[in-house]
Amino acid sequence: MRPFQNIRIAIEALRANKLRSALTMLGIIIGVGSVVSLLSVGNGAQESILAQINGIGTNLVTVVPGVLTLNTSRPPAAGSIGAGARPLTDADARAIEERVSNISGVAPEFTANGTTITFKRTNILAAARAVTPDYLMVRNQTIGEGRWIESSDMSTAARVVVLGADAAESLFGELSPIGERIKVANVPFTVIGVLNRVGGGFTGNPDQSVYVPLTAGYRSLFGSRAAYRGDNRVSVIYISALNNDELETVAEEVTTVLRSEHRLKIDDEDDFTVLTQEQFLSIAGAITGILTIFLGAIAGISLLVGGIGIMNISLVSVTERTKEIGLRKAVGAKRRTILIQFLVETVTLSVIGGFAGIFLGWMVATLISATGVLQATVTPNSVALAVGFSFMVGLFFGIYPASRAAALQPIEALRYE
Amino acid sequence: MNDIPVNLKAMIEARGLTKVYKMGTTEVRALNGVSLDVFQSEMVSVIGQSGSGKSTLLSILGALDLPTSGSYKLDGREVATMRDDELAALRNQRIGFVFQKFNLLARSTALANVELPLTYAGVPSRQSRKRAAETLTLVGLGDRLDHKPNELSGGQQQRVAIARALVNNPSIILADEPTGNLDSRTGEEILELFHKLHEEQKITLIVVTHDPKIAAQCQRVIKLRDGVVVPDDDTRPLMTYEALRNATLSEHSDSH
Ligand SMILES: Nc1ncnc2c1ncn2[C@@H]1O[C@H](COP(=O)(O)OP(=O)(O)OP(=O)(O)O)[C@@H](O)[C@H]1O
Ligand SMILES: [Mg+2]
């Protein structure tokens, strides 16, 4: 018996029973397709979340007021955390800037969420963020049009404003907003620039925001709301480390500086929280991990359903196939020949069905990506997992009954009911 | 008369064959010590009441099943102790089996069905196709090569099965009630085919049948009752070499 002969027999058997072959393949296609597409969604979600975190700014250390434990908290939305605790102030920010080494910028921010922004008769709600010139670099943002806030704007507390991309679009549409006068919480400001779009972020949507000089914010917008013991509150302080290796040291130094600024005793708890990007990543990792497990469970169920489909077809055809095996043995097929035939059949179905399933999963992923909700990416791992599992199912439900039948005396197999 | 080769060596030698089926606590002795010889180019029928063990005997002679005890030699080689692969080779090379229910692969053409033993013998596809087509022509189905079993009449299906049994030039053809599923006219046609093969190709044939008319057309009848061979007045007794030789020679000269 040449190997070619074996393959010939198997292909002939598959072609002789097209319906059964097609149904078995369908089980594999559904199983593989669902695993590939679901895992691609999981991956896409993970990637997009990680991309957003990286978009917060590289080498970023974030300080928020109050104590934030990683396990129980939501990701920090600036200004909303630790409302009752000791606030951070612009004096804290200045102290960090002066005393922490290896940093390239410090960017305090005071945030007023849900501020009404008015241009002529159009009103929108946006976060009004009072920031310093460093903010642009520290937060990894770029100017699309016009210019960013400069030191002179700070020293004169100029009533100028830079718009996030979405805010600009909803207020001005296609028109250029540069030089226009808008009202921020009813106070007139002049638009000097528009930021490029960055996409949704962990600290509120930066595109649906307007940015004013910190000093102008204190003087014209927030007034006594921001005052704290002769200083001004800030909602969050962003610090950018010179490079990634310094991140932990910077975080430690920031902690030391703030503890001394806040006059904490040796065994007092911190009354603020310092977060590095790594910690954001680990929070996100925990969230996406759950998501992936969840999607994996759904994918597992689809695999099971596909597997049961294959099993059904196989079991229904066991009688028929047992007789077929009996007959093949009666005319001289050896046990090994029968097993090889079934193996080749299974492999053929798995390979064709597997490829079709990958294609199906890839199409679903492409469709999902096309909706723009997230970028679903097909990974080699999910493909290997899906194909491997379907192959095992096909092998078990195809080969196992066949090997039992092949071990029978031909007359018993022929009599099988 | 001398051009008819008669090899008087027993092709089949069965001694004390038993087959016991265990059904839970009860035992069924389907064969209870069957001994018989079949000679080359003989045409033998096996008769007996339903349940007497005919099919069981034929399956063992066809190497489709193994006896519980006893010895079975085909062409001088002991079959009862053969390994699975040896049995498969034996079935493939030396034995052609014809079933009452035809047992064709339902979704394969007549040609593919007949090719099957050749494929398992390792015959290359072009050659096996040619030989299968020739054999189908021999049984009168040269114009039905591409028909599937459900596109053939019962008689034609049995012809396909006979072609499949013949295609690898076996030493012996065993048929278990080959006409049992056919009407009497079609049954006669099948029997004529057997006669033709027997006469023209000197094929050794053992036919299990219920039909006394078929039994009467055979050179010798083996009758079974309750798993043993009975010497019956109505049937010719187990022949000696001498008697067989005379009978075979005279029958051959009769038919010419
Ligand atoms: N697989 C089996 N398991 C148990 N008993 C069996 C089995 N096969 C046959 N028998 C029993 O063995 C005995 C002989 O059966 P066998 O099929 O050889 O009879 P038969 O002479 O061919 O009958 P029929 O003319 O009806 O075909 C019967 O009593 C039957 O019930
Ligand atoms: Mg029977």
- Residue-wise pLDDT for A363-395, tens only, equals 999 998 888 777 888 888 888 887 787 778 777
Question: What pLDDT does A84 receive?
Answer: 57
Q: Which residues of B touch A325 (CB under 8 A)?
A: none
The verdict on A244 and A325 lying in the same domain is: no
The verdict on A355 and A294 lying in the same domain is: yes
Report the nearest-CA residue for atom 29 of ligand 1: B51
Report helix, strand or coil for B50: coil
pLDDT band (50, 70, 90) for residue A159: very high
Question: What pLDDT does A18 receive?
Answer: 87
Residue A165 lies in a domain: yes
Q: List, for residues B79-101, the tens digit of each pLDDT value.
A: 999 999 999 999 999 999 999 99
Atom of ligand 1 nearest to the CA of B52: 21
Q: Cβ distance A332 to B117 under 8 Å?
A: yes
Interatomic CA distance for residues A240 and A61, integer angstroms? 6
Q: Do B120 and A332 touch (CB under 8 A)?
A: yes
* Closest CA in chain B for residue A411: B64
Interatomic CA distance for residues A273 and B16, integer angstroms? 95
Q: Do B64 and A411 touch (CB under 8 A)?
A: yes
Q: Which residues of B touch A331 (CB under 8 A)?
A: 91-92, 97, 116-117, 120, 164
Count the Cβ atoms, other than its own, within 10 Å of residue B192: 11
Q: Is the CB of B19 under 6 A from ligand 1?
A: no
The verdict on A257 and A360 lying in the same domain is: no
Q: Do A332 and B59 touch (CB under 8 A)?
A: no
Residue A332 lies in a domain: yes
Measure in Å the smallest separation between the Cα of A411 and chain B Cα atoms. Answer: 5
Interatomic CA distance for residues A410 and B8, integer angstroms? 31
Interatomic CA distance for residues A387 and B130, integer angstroms? 41
Residue A76 lies in a domain: no
In order, the DSSP letters of B165-208 are HHTT--SEEEEESTTTTS-HHHHHHHHHHHHHHHHHH--EEEEE
Q: Is the CB of B23 under 6 A from ligand 1?
A: yes
Please provide residue A50's backbone torsions phi and psi, each rounded to the nearest 5 degrees.
-65, -40
Of A209, A243, A270, the residue at which a domain comes to its end is A270
Atom of ligand 1 nearest to the CA of B100: 27
pLDDT band (50, 70, 90) for residue A15: confident
Question: What pLDDT does A343 receive?
Answer: 82
Strands A187-195 and A160-163, by their bridges, are parallel
Strands A122-131 and A209-213, by their bridges, are parallel
Q: List, for residues A343-363, the tens digit of each pLDDT value.
A: 888 888 888 888 899 999 999
Most confidently modeled range among A49-63, A207-221, B234-248 = A207-221
Token pair belonging to A411: 């007359």
Question: What pLDDT does A83 receive?
Answer: 47
Interatomic CA distance for residues A165 and A346, integer angstroms? 55
Of A238, A270, A302, the residue at which a domain comes to its end is A270
Residue A80 lies in a domain: no
| pLDDT higher than threshold 60 for residue A52 | yes
Q: A358: exposed, middle or buried (C-beta count within 10 Å: 0-12, 13-18, 19+)?
A: buried
The verdict on A301 and A224 lying in the same domain is: no
* Closest CA in chain A for residue B128: A5
The verdict on A14 and A142 lying in the same domain is: no
Q: Do A330 and B112 touch (CB under 8 A)?
A: no
Q: Which domain holds residue A91?
A: 86-270
Closest C-alpha among B36, B30, B37 to residue B54: B30
Q: Cβ distance B209 to B215 under 8 Å?
A: yes
Q: Cβ distance A67 to A82 under 8 Å?
A: yes
Helix (H) / strand (E) containing B71: strand B69-74
Q: Which residues of A touch B59 (CB under 8 A)?
A: 411
| pLDDT higher than threshold 70 for residue A86 | yes
Question: What pLDDT does B176 receive?
Answer: 94
Residue A377 lies in a domain: yes
Report the nearest-CA residue for atom 12 of ligand 1: B30
Distance of CA B12 to the CA centre of its chain: 12
In one letter, which amino acid is A99?
R
Interatomic CA distance for residues B32 and B53, integer angstroms? 9
In one letter, which amino acid is A25?
M
Question: What pLDDT does B225 receive?
Answer: 93
Measure in Å the smallest separation between the Cα of B207 and chain A Cα atoms. Answer: 17
Closest Cβ opposite residue A332 in set B66, B112, B121:
B121
Question: What pLDDT does A58 receive?
Answer: 62
Q: Do A327 and B103 touch (CB under 8 A)?
A: yes
The verdict on A295 and A245 lying in the same domain is: no
Question: What pLDDT does B237 receive?
Answer: 46
Interatomic CA distance for residues A182 and A118, integer angstroms? 6
Q: What is the mean pLDDT of each run of 10 residues along chain B (256 residues)?
A: 55 95 92 94 94 95 95 94 94 95 92 95 93 94 95 94 94 93 89 91 92 89 93 52 54 49
Interatomic CA distance for residues A96 and A90, integer angstroms? 10
Interatomic CA distance for residues A146 and A148, integer angstroms? 7
| Signed CA dihedral, A260, A261, A263, A265: sign only | negative
Return mean pLDDT, chain A: 85
Residue A73 lies in a domain: no
The verdict on A121 and A96 lying in the same domain is: yes
Distance of CA A210 to the CA centre of its chain: 26
The verdict on A254 and A302 lying in the same domain is: no
* Closest CA in chain A for residue B85: A334
Q: A206: exposed, middle or buried (C-beta count within 10 Å: 0-12, 13-18, 19+)?
A: buried
In one letter, which amino acid is A301?
I
Count the Cβ atoms, other than its own, within 10 Å of residue B26: 7
The verdict on A29 and A110 lying in the same domain is: no
The verdict on A25 and A125 lying in the same domain is: no
Residue A126 lies in a domain: yes
* Closest CA in chain B for residue A1: B122
pLDDT band (50, 70, 90) for residue A288: confident
From the CA of B194, how far away is ligand 1's center (Å)? Answer: 25
Quick one: which ligand is closest to B46's CA? 1
Query: What angle (nearest 5°) sits at the alpha carbon of residue B100, between those of residues B97 and B103?
Result: 70
The total number of structural domains in chain A stands at 2
Question: What pLDDT does A315 receive?
Answer: 74
The verdict on A175 and A231 lying in the same domain is: yes
Q: Do A335 and B88 touch (CB under 8 A)?
A: yes
Q: List, for residues B171-209, the tens digit of each pLDDT value.
A: 899 999 999 888 988 889 899 999 999 998 899 999 999
pLDDT band (50, 70, 90) for residue A77: very low
Which position has the higher pLDDT, B95 or A322? Answer: B95
Question: What pLDDT does A128 receive?
Answer: 94
Q: Is the complex ipTM higher than 0.90? A: no
Report the nearest-CA residue for atom 17 of ligand 1: B55
Question: What pLDDT does B6 receive?
Answer: 53
Q: Which residues of B touch A345 (CB under 8 A)?
A: none
Measure in Å the smallest separation between the Cα of A412 and chain B Cα atoms. Answer: 8
Report helix, strand or coil for B30: strand
Closest C-alpha among A338, A323, A332 to residue A400: A338
Count the Cβ atoms, other than its own, within 10 Å of residue B235: 17
Q: Which residues contact B156 (CB under 8 A, 6 or more apart)?
A: B141, B144, B147
Q: List, for residues A262-280, the tens digit of each pLDDT value.
A: 988 888 888 898 988 777 7
**How many secondary structure helices (H) and strands (E) does chain B include?**
8, 10
| pLDDT higher than threshold 60 for residue A221 | yes
| pLDDT higher than threshold 50 for residue A72 | no
Q: Cβ distance A147 to A195 under 8 Å?
A: no
Token pair belonging to A416: 């099988």
Whether pTM > 0.90 for this model: the answer is no
Percentage of the residues of chain B whose pLDDT score is greater than 90: 73
pLDDT band (50, 70, 90) for residue A57: low
In order, the DSSP letters of B116-154 are HHHHHTT--HHHHHHHHHHHHHHTT-TT-TT--GGGS-H
Of A243, A270, A297, the residue at which a domain comes to its end is A270
Any idea which of A45-54, A75-84, B76-85 has the lowest mean pLDDT?
A75-84
Please provide residue A328's backbone torsions phi and psi, each rounded to the nearest 5 degrees.
-60, -40
Q: Which residues of A touch B105 (CB under 8 A)?
A: 16, 324, 327
Interatomic CA distance for residues A337 and A7, integer angstroms? 10
Q: Is A327 on the interface with B (CB under 8 A)?
A: yes
Quick one: which ligand is closest to B59's CA? 1
Closest Cβ opposite residue B59 in set A9, A335, A411:
A411
Q: Which residues of B touch A1 (CB under 8 A)?
A: 120, 122
Residue A62 lies in a domain: no
Q: Is A312 on the interface with B (CB under 8 A)?
A: no
Query: What does the H/E/C string look like for chain A?
Result: CCHHHHHHHHHHHHHHCHHHHHHHHHHHHHHHHHHHHHHHHHHHHHHHHHHHHHHCCCCEEEEEECCCCCCCCCCCCCCCCCCCCCCEEHHHHHHHHHHCCCEEEEEEEEEEEEEEEEECCEEEEEEEEEECCCHHHHCCCCEEEECCCCHHHHHHCCCEEEECHHHHHHHHCCCCCCCCEEEECCEEEEEEEEECCCCCCCCCCHHHEEEEEHHHHHHHHHHHHHEECCEEEECEEEEEECCHHHHHHHHHHHHHHHHHHCCCCCCCCCCEEEEEHHHHHHHHHHHHHHHHHHHHHHHHHHHHHHHHHHHHHHHHCHHHHHHHHHHHHHCCCCHHHHHHHHHHHHHHHHHHHHHHHHHHHHHHHHHHHHHCCCCCCCCHHHHHHHHHHHHHHHHHHHHHHHHHHHHCCHHHHHHCC
Closest Cβ opposite residue A333 in set B62, B88, B105:
B88
Interatomic CA distance for residues A351 and B242, integer angstroms? 65
pLDDT band (50, 70, 90) for residue A286: confident
Measure in Å the smallest separation between the Cα of B222 and chain A Cα atoms. Answer: 22
The verdict on A219 and A101 lying in the same domain is: yes
Question: What pLDDT does A292 receive?
Answer: 77
pLDDT band (50, 70, 90) for residue A74: very low
Q: Is the CB of B28 under 6 A from ligand 1?
A: yes
